[in-house]
Structure 1
Amino acid sequence: MDLSRTLIIGNSGSGKSWLAQRLADRLQLPWTDLDRIHWLSDEHSIPRPRAEALTMARIAAEQERWVIEGVYGWIACELLPRATALIWLSVGDEDCVANIRQREAGRDEQDLLLIALLEWAGSYRQRQGSSGFAAHQRLFEEFCGGKIRLRDREEIAALVHHS
């Protein structure tokens, strides 16, 4: 499979950034996290205007080689025509919540942004809109290039070791 322009989608906490960083390092590709494009602030509370975010994402995808990852289906669908590979991390919602709890262990349990993120991750399979399971499944099914669906940490780690 040609991983020269790899788009990784999946729920918050599924391991997208972990996988993207390792693939980018191994394949010597630039890596773009769509959170850095979507959000204006580090606290993930102020979204960038959609048109501006799409422009930034398209600029990243114009590179000859890249790894781009994120939960935002509305951005991902714009990048798919340039992608040579699509990786969908369809990890269970409970595992995603546990991963976020582990990643954010130093944060106050009463932090409203953390609570919202945990609720968001826990609702992936029921969530409507472009960042939910059904929307990601549609993107995956309709993509004509090389694609892989990974369902747990073991499959994700195996991909890194075999790429």
Structure 2
Amino acid sequence: MDLTKTLIVGNSGAGKSWLSERIADSLNGTWIDLDLIHWQPGGFNVARQREEAIRLAREAANHDRWVIEGIYGWLIAEIQSGATALIWLDLSEAECTNNIRQRGIRRDGNDESFAALLHWAETYRSRDGSSSYTAHARIFHEFAGQKQRLCSRDEIACFASLLGAP
């Protein structure tokens, strides 16, 4: 796979950041978390204006080597034409919520935001919108470039090991 410009989608807690960091390191490229583009600095309670988020995502995709990861299908749609590869981390909701519990509260979160994140991850297949299972499946199936669907932590770890990543 040509991972020079890689998009990674999947549920919260699927391991997108973990894998993205390893791919970016192997490429000596830029790793971009779409959470940092979607949300205003300082937390997960105020979204950026849509136009501003799109502009920032497009700027990130202008680098020569990058890995951009996130749940936001609407942002992925804005930059996917420039991607060389797409990876969908399609883990069960139970595995995602377990991963979230193991890593704990992050990025200045609190108990309330942590509970909301767990609920969000639990509803991946039942919710609607561009950050849902259905939307990610559509992105994956419509992507014309090289793509890989990984359905377990073992598959993700195996994929990372092929990069020489720990």
TM-score category of the 2 structures, normalised to the smaller one: over 0.9
CA distance in 2, matches of 1:73, 1:144: 16
Residue 83 of structure 2 is matched in structure 1 by: 83
Q: Deviations over 1:66-86 (max 9, x none)?
A: 110000000011111000000
> Which residue does 2:136 correspond to in 1?
136
Match of 2:64 in 1: 64
* Separation in 1, partners of 2:128, 2:115: 19
TM-score under structure 1 length normalisation: 0.95
Deviates more, 1:57-66 or 1:131-140: 57-66
Q: Which residue of 2 aligns with 1:162?
A: 162
Supply the AA of the counterpart residue of 1:153.
R
**Partner residue in 2 for 1:16:** 16
Query: What SS does the aligned partner of 1:23 have?
Result: helix
1:19-39 CA-to-partner distances (Å, cap 9, x unmatched) read 000111122111101011011
Structure 2 distance, partners of 1:37, 1:50, is: 10
Q: Structure 1: which 5+ residue stretches go unaligned?
A: none
Query: 2: CA distance between counterparts of 1:30 and 1:158?
Result: 22
- Separation in structure 2 between the aligned mates of residue 17 and residue 105 of structure 1, nearest angstrom: 15
Cα distance in 2, alignment partners of residues 29 and 67 from structure 1:
7
CA distance in 2, matches of 1:35, 1:23: 18
Instruction: Determine if contact 2:124/2:132 at 8 Å carries over to the other structure.
Output: yes
Cα deviations by residue, 1:69-125 (Å, 9 ceiling, x for unpaired) = 00000001111100000000001001101111111169xxx8111111000000001
Aligned residues: 161
Deviation at 1:41, TM superposition (A): 3.4
Which AA in structure 2 matches 1:64? Answer: D
Task: Give 1:42 shift.
Answer: 3.3
How well do the aligned residues superpose, as a CA RMSD in angstroms?
A: 1.5
Partner of 1:42: 42
Identify the residue that residue 120 of structure 1 maps to in structure 2.
Answer: 120
- Could you list the structure 1 runs, at least 4 aligned residues long, displaced by more than 6 angstroms after superposition: none
Could you say what secondary structure the match of 1:31 adopts?
strand
Identity, in percent, stands at 52
